[in-house]
Amino acid sequence: MTDNRFFNRSELIGILVLAVFLVVVLPLTLDVFRLNLVAKYLTYAFVALGLVICWGYGGILSLGQGVFFGLGGYCMAMFLKLEASSVENTKIQSTPGIPDFMDWNQITALPFFWKPFNSLTFTIAAIILVPGIFAWIIGTAMFKRRVGGTYFAIITQAVAAILTILIVGQQGYTGGINGMTDLRTLKGWDIRPDHAKIVLYFFEVGCLFVCIMIAQFVRHSKLGRILVAMREKEDRVRFSGYSVANFKIFAFCIAAMFAAIGGAMFALNVGFMSPSFVGIVPSIEMVIYTAVGGRLSILGAIYGTLLVNFAKTSLSETFPELWLFGLGGLFIAVVLAFPNGLAGIWGDYVQPRIDRLIASRKSKPDGWTDSSVADGAPAE
């Protein structure tokens, strides 16, 4: 049962608890609207998961994860938009059969790079490959020249800025600042009604667990240990004969692909995609989720994402004046006092007590499940 390749015993329990929480507890306790909100938050959890590998283990802070989130999301949205813009749906336009925003911008034919997105197979491949190849290009250019740390962070940030400006500027091809709205069906299956949203939620949770397994596998493989070694003493790893650049590129590409899957899920679950999820501000927020959850903890990143987003939604609903103060204060507190985030607090304070509790009365190990669920669901 405890397969060394993926997880040890306590990690297995953690994953099961998360699975129960996401698959059973949340769908039973929340209405469809709130469940859809959770689905939206979980799309960011993909990004946070990628950042755990790239930043937590590899030590590469990327401030451009929004770029990959956006690329994945736009690939998905382009497919959905094309399907929503069939000739019957758009017959009032001057050129039927093209997306509405193209028609508004006096474009009369579908641009060549839109055409392949008529195929779902191509779209799914593009969701993974386009961001992956893009990350590979950036990573190769930077890491082969031994650019890292703060420089890398700033350059990825610039890339995020460039892509945002480009998307907003090229309104006719991308939908501009409004993004791609009014997405309707996936292969004829309507994604908007409540039951579709529930199906999509479970599909997303399934994908999330696949990604968690991949992340666990990377972490427990030799590769993961080299990543950690590289973060701690890069020169020693290099002198031991490893190609540091290739490992960094790998970590960065994995993070980019996870982010892209998250983006595609976003387009499916939320029903639109816009440049406001691509730029610098969302990219930094995604880093914050990881930092709050714990940059070294795969599960912590997911709880952190849920926690920050719940806090953001409920605070901005009730105290619109205060939530930026709260959010800002949270970042500062996490950085100053809890560099390992929620997972660090869990590991330092809660886990030892539970261990003692279990050790003192072996007959009732149920305390684990309850407290851990409470930890992940601070606001309803």
Partner 1 sequence: MFGDYSLGDLGSIFVMQGFAGLILFSVYVLMALGLAIIFGQMGVINMAHGEFMILGAYVTWMTSNLFQSYMPGLFGGYFFLAMILAFLASGALGMLVEWVLIRHLYKRPLDTLLATWGLSLMLQQAYRSVFGAREVGVELPQWMLGSLHVTDSIEVPINGVFVMGLTVLITISVAYVMYKSRWGRQVRAVVQNRIMAGAVGINTEKVDRYTYGLGCGIAGIAGSAFTMIGSTGPTSGQLYIVDTFLVVVFGGAASLLGTIASAFSISQTQSTLEFFMSGSMAKVLTLLAVVGILMLRPQGLFALKVRK
Q: Which residues bind partner 1 (CB under 8 A)?
A: 61, 63, 141-142, 145-147, 149-151, 153-155, 157-159, 161-162, 165-166, 168-169, 280-281, 284, 287-288, 291, 321, 324-325, 327-332, 334-336, 339
As measured in angstroms, the least distance from the Cβ of 152 to partner 1 is 9
Nearest CA to 300 out of 308, 4, 358 is that of 308
Can you read off the two tokens belonging to residue 282? 């969302």
As measured in angstroms, the least distance from the Cβ of 157 to partner 1 is 6
As measured in angstroms, the least distance from the Cβ of 146 to partner 1 is 8
User: Contacts for 111-117 with beta carbons within 8 Å, 24 or more apart?
Assistant: 111/173, 114/78, 114/82, 114/173, 117/75, 117/78, 117/79, 117/82
Closest to partner 1 by CB, 268 vs 291, is: 291
Residues 6 or more apart in contact with residue 181 via CB below 8 angstroms = 175, 271, 272, 274
As measured in angstroms, the least distance from the Cβ of 182 to partner 1 is 24
As measured in angstroms, the least distance from the Cβ of 68 to partner 1 is 16
As measured in angstroms, the least distance from the Cβ of 156 to partner 1 is 10
Closest to partner 1 by CB, 16 vs 147, is: 147
Closest to partner 1 by CB, 157 vs 297, is: 157
Q: Which neighbouring-strand residues pair with 186?
A: 189
CA pair distance 100, 92, nearest whole angstrom: 10
Closest to partner 1 by CB, 144 vs 220, is: 144
Helix (H, G, I), strand (E, B) or coil at 314: helix
CB-based contact 215:298 (threshold 8 Å): yes
Longest dimension (CA), the chain: 76
Closest to partner 1 by CB, 168 vs 211, is: 168
As measured in angstroms, the least distance from the Cβ of 355 to partner 1 is 30
Closest to partner 1 by CB, 149 vs 367, is: 149
Closest to partner 1 by CB, 99 vs 176, is: 176
* DSSP, res 186: E
Can you read off the two tokens belonging to residue 36? 């859809």
E-only strand ranges, the chain = 185-186, 189-190
CB-based contact 251:142 (threshold 8 Å): no
Q: Which neighbouring-strand residues pair with 180?
A: 273
